[in-house]
Structure 1
Amino acid sequence: MNIEEVEIDGQLITVKPPVSGISINETTVTYQDATGSSSANFSSEKIAKQFASWLSAQKI
């Protein structure tokens, strides 16, 4: 299985697809990947939505 990394809002976030259960609550994004449940906090809702969009592409 691949490991995906993204640098966003000064953070390097590692995700192991497949991704599911993506949820946004203001500036926090929670999601489930192959390693379990995770969350990430961002400085703005706009950045949180960008990260959630990137996560959605990792569902495959």
Structure 2
Amino acid sequence: MPTQDPKELLNNKHKMDQQKAEFANFVRSVSDDAPPEPSQQFAAQDRGEPDQQNQLKDQENRQI
């Protein structure tokens, strides 16, 4: 297994983060405030409220 220099890994991460930021800026400039796709829209009532399955799983985990 090759050993990787932590500084090299960090440099690679910074390069990738920069590329992601550049791409995000490009997409924002191209989209011209276009409305998000329906799959990207979330209803306000869906945020922050745990669904029934999560509540049941929480109760189950507390019993264990």
Same fold (TM over 0.5): no
Say which one has the larger Rg: 2
The structure richer in helix per residue is 2
The structure whose RCO (Cα within 8 Å, separation 6+) is larger is 1
Shorter-chain TM-score tier? under 0.3
TM-score, normalising length from structure 1? Answer: 0.23
TM-score, normalising length from structure 2? Answer: 0.22
